[in-house]
């Protein structure tokens, strides 16, 4: 058995199957793979780790159809697709709003079934439950031109971010076994494997406990598990343990690709009877992985997985590759799936725009990225030169276009406008951010201008997560754009990512050292104390402290008082007073509260961590600005309520 050749050929076939052309090469590869398989036939399974487009039935069906035809040609026993792969996932309210999609998808499914021959094909689809105007999350088992049967998901969790439980009905327990060439399969869908590991669902038991191990050779789990959750880990652990304890094989078929802020990484897996990893599909790539568990045939492709951290650390080294791949896929799929080709962004010479530019080049190709340097009076020569050097290093399209004219005209007009308003409104600030913001907004005006004037190009919002949490970004300014690639990456992690990019990309050191070494600042205002452009950390707090506060809030849900008691890493390396810590924590909670509004109008971004300040992940009403995150003692409560009593 020439396993190496099997996988070399498979990778070639992948490339052709993913493209839109039918070539003679595929015919040739088909013959070669078939020959290898025929040396020792039976038991071959194709894990079709596909990247569907939401609701694009034609696109998805063509893809599925091609895989069916290929799998049949090379003689696979079984071909398995991810959960809901025919329509795509997540759906949110899409099918509630547009039930036509479900009706149409059944037409496509029936025709796909007709394509099947002896290869048993399993496809995730939405099964309408017409009586109750609800739907099942189902798998169709197709063979010899027909849908032989379907199995329905029995566990629809309430904890899903995608509100699956609003439109999917959990099925009652049913037989999920079927036999192909004497191999007995048991089919499960996503949370059916691990629901009890996360949150107990009222009235539901883990369906795995009902599996008859004497009647099962291979346990299959079809899934669409977002990358930013721990659920992939839960499924894998469960499958591996189940395999070991019951001496059966198990297979995870996971979706790949991104939709809006949500990413799926693929990394489909096969475990042997000892619970040992036998095969792992590529990550962040569409991929048909051919395996034969009973014959011990599989390939383990590289993985960037790492353990979830239980404590905050400023050492990000082991998670940067996955972060990078998630963002790249997020950008690629947002652009491709929405038919957008190009991006323009402001290059300030600062860390945020620099890292964004590199990521955009890797996702879209340098010819599709336009960097605009838009210096103002405050912009230092170093920043200008850093922007230019970066553009040269990346070899992207680049122009410098100062903003001073529009800023000057705007300031002049504003002088008159404000003096008119002031005559009627006595509320003018002594000191304001107006001029700072004119600069940021003029830059956004340039970028949206380019977007309006040039075909298929959107501006990039370069805000990072630390700044987003603090609302330290200008509305209609740097916050504005068609996509925000790094809005879920904190500043300290971004510094680490910049170093990682310099080291790990094919073209080394594209990011100038000065960008990584200087302390970040928006260069919108002069710090009166130093006479130099304001440094962000001086206006906020040290990023190392801020990023740990964000981590503690997101992962440990710590309150003000708990953070005050917790020892921050920053405190182990710097001496700070309790007053300083209180000031920073007060600022942190206050600014975070006020940032909810800005988070609500942030463009779509890529979710990296399980939580984030944007509207997709942080579902806290904006109107919650009076929440007191501090503890209050009973004497104060008593005192407050005393005044309520009518005397």
Residues 572-591 that bind a second copy (CB under 8 A): none
Interface residue with a second copy among 148, 314, 406, 535 (CB under 8 A) is 406
* Shortest Å distance, C-beta 509 to a second copy: 24
Q: Does 21 bind a second copy (CB under 8 A)?
A: no
Please select the residue that binds a second copy; options are 453, 506, 567, 573, rule is CB under 8 A: 453
Residues 472-491 contacting a second copy, CB under 8 A: 475-476, 480, 482
Q: Tell me which stretch binds a second copy (CB under 8 A): 1-9, 96-104, 241-249, 301-309.
A: 96-104
Looking at beta carbons only, is 296 or 476 nearer to a second copy?
476
Answer for which of 38, 93, 318, 377 binds a second copy (CB under 8 A) is: 93
Angle at 159 between CA 156 and CA 164, to 5 degrees: 45
Tell me the closest approach of the beta carbon of residue 641 to a second copy, in angstroms: 5
Confirm or reject binding of residue 99 to a second copy (CB under 8 A).
Answer: yes
Q: Per CB under 8 A, which of residues 249..278 are in contact with a second copy?
A: 258-260
Q: For residues 629 and 552, is the Cβ–Cβ distance under 8 A?
A: no
Give the strand pairing for 256-259 and 262-265. Answer: antiparallel
Q: Do residues 190 and 177 make contact, with C-beta atoms less than 8 angstroms apart?
A: no
Residue 539 engages a second copy in binding (rule: CB under 8 A): no
Range in contact with a second copy (rule: CB under 8 A) among 122-130, 272-280, 393-401, 529-537: 393-401
Kind of pairing between the strands at 287-291 and 45-49? antiparallel
Q: Decide: helix, strand or coil at residue 337.
A: helix
Q: To which H or E segment does residue 588 belong? A: helix 578-600
Show the binding pattern over residues 456-475: x = contacts a second copy (CB under 8 A), - = does not: xx-----------------x
Segment 359 to 388, residues that bind a second copy, using CB under 8 A? 370, 372
Distance CA 277, CA 251 (A): 10
Shortest distance in whole angstroms from residue 523 CB to a second copy:
18
Q: Is the dihedral of CA 438, 441, 447, 451 positive or negative?
A: negative
Decide if residue 25 touches a second copy (CB under 8 A): no
| CA pair distance 192, 156, nearest whole angstrom | 8
- Is 399 among the residues that bind a second copy (CB under 8 A)? yes
In whole angstroms, what is the distance from residue 357 CA to residue 345 CA? 8
Per-residue interface string for the shown chain with a second copy, residues 38-67, x marking contact by CB under 8 A: ---------------xxxxxxx-xx--xx-
Cβ count within 10 A of residue 254: 26
Select from 248-256, 321-329, 331-339, 525-533 the region that touches a second copy (CB under 8 A). Answer: 331-339
Burial of 304 (0-12, 13-18, 19+ CB in 10 A): middle
- Cα–Cα distance for residue pair 374/369, rounded to 1 Å: 16
Return the number of the residue (166 or 587) whose C-beta is nearest a second copy. 166
- 619-638 residues in contact with a second copy (CB under 8 A) are 619-629, 631-632, 634, 637-638
* Tokens 């569409």 -> residue: 286
120-129 vs 78-80, strand pairing mode: parallel
Q: Taking the CA atoms of 356, 361, 366 and 367 in sequence, report the sign of the dihedral they define.
A: negative
Instruction: Report yes or no: 91 and 165 within 8 Å, Cβ to Cβ.
Output: no
247 near a second copy, judged by CB under 8 A: no
Q: Number of residues in contact with a second copy, rule: CB under 8 A?
A: 141
Among 38, 200, 296, 395, binds a second copy (CB under 8 A): 200
Only segment of 304-312, 386-394, 445-453, 544-552 that touches a second copy (CB under 8 A): 445-453
Q: Examine residue 644 and tell whether it contacts a second copy (CB under 8 A).
A: yes
User: How many beta carbons lie within 10 A of that of residue 600, not counting itself?
Assistant: 14
Tokens of 305: 């997985």
Q: State the Cα–Cα distance between residues 307 and 232, nearest whole angstrom.
A: 12
Residue list 145-164, contact with a second copy (CB under 8 A): 158-159, 163
Q: Binding to a second copy (CB under 8 A): which residues in 165-194?
A: 165-166, 169-170
Joined together, the tokens standing for residue 162 give 């995608």
Residues of this chain, 103-132, that bind a second copy according to CB under 8 A: 103-104, 107-108, 111-112, 115, 132
To the nearest whole angstrom, how small is the minimum distance from the Cβ of residue 639 to a second copy?
Answer: 10
């Amino acid at each position: 058995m020439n396993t190496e050749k099997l996988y070399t050929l498979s990778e070639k076939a992948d490339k052709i199957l993913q493209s839109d052309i039918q070539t003679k090469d595929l015919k040739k590869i088909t013959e070669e793979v078939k020959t290898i398989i025929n040396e020792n036939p039976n038991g071959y399974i194709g894990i079709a780790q596909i990247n569907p487009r939401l609701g694009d039935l034609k696109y998805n069906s063509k893809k599925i159809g091609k895989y069916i035809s290929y799998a049949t040609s090379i003689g696979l026993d079984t071909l398995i697709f991810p959960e809901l792969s025919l329509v795509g996932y997540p759906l949110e309210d899409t099918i509630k709003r547009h039930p036509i999609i479900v009706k149409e998808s059944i037409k496509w499914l029936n025709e796909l079934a007709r394509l099947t021959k002896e290869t048993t094909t399993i496809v995730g689809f939405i099964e309408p439950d017409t009586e109750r105007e609800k739907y099942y999350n189902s798998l169709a088992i197709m063979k010899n031109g027909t849908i032989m049967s379907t199995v329905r998901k029995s566990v629809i969790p309430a904890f899903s971010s995608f509100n699956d439980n609003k439109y999917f009905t959990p099925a009652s327990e049913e037989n999920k076994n079927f036999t192909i060439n004497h191999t007995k399969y048991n089919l499960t869908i996503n949370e059916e494997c691990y629901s009890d590991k996360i949150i107990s669902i009222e009235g539901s038991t883990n369906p795995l406990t009902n599996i008859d191990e004497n009647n099962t050779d291979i346990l299959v789990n079809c899934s669409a598990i977002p990358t930013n959750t721990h659920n992939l880990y839960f499924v894998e652990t469960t499958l591996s343990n189940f395999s070991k304890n019951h001496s059966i094989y198990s297979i995870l078929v996971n979706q790949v690709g991104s939709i809006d802020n949500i990413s799926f990484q693929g990394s489909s897996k096969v475990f042997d009877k000892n619970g040992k990893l036998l095969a792992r599909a590529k990550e962040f790539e569409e991929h048909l992985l051919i395996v034969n568990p009973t014959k011990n045939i599989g390939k383990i492709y590289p993985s960037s997985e790492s353990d979830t951290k239980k404590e905050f650390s400023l050492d990000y080294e082991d998670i940067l590759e996955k972060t990078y791949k998630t963002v790249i896929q997020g950008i690629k799929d947002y652009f491709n799936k929405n038919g957008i080709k190009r991006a323009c962004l402001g290059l300030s010479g600062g860390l945020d725009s620099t890292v964004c530019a590199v990521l955009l080049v890797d996702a879209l190709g340098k010819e599709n990225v336009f960097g605009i340097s838009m210096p103002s009076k405050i912009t230092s020569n170093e920043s200008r030169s850093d922007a230019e050097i970066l553009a040269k290093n990346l070899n992207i399209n680049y122009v410098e276009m100062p903003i001073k004219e529009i800023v000057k005209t705007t300031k002049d007009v504003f002088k008159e406008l404000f003096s008119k308003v002031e005559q009627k409104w006595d509320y003018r600030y002594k000191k304001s951010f107006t001029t700072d913001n004119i600069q940021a907004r003029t830059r956004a005006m340039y970028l949206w201008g380019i977007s309006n004037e040039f075909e298929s190009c959107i501006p990039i919002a370069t805000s990072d997560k630390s700044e987003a949490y603090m609302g330290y970004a200008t509305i209609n300014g740097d916050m504005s754009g068609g996509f925000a690639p790094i809005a879920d990456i904190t500043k300290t992690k971004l510094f680490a990512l910049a170093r990682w990019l310099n080291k790990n990309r094919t073209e080394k050191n594209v990011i100038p050292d000065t960008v990584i070494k200087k302390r970040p600042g928006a260069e919108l205002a002069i710090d009166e104390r130093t006479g130099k452009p304001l440094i962000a950390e001086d206006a906020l707090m040290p990023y190392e402290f801020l990023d740990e506060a964000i981590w503690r809030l997101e992962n440990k849900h710590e309150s003000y008082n708990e953070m005050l008691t917790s020892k921050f890493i920053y405190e182990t390396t710097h001496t700070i007073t309790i007053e300083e810590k209180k000031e920073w924590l007060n600022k942190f909670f206050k600014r975070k509260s006020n940032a909810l509004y800005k988070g609500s109008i942030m463009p779509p971004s890529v979710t990296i961590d399980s939580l984030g300040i944007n509207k997709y992940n942080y579902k806290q009403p904006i109107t919650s600005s009076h929440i007191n995150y501090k503890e209050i003692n009973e004497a104060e409560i008593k005192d407050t309520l005393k005044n309520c009593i009518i005397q």
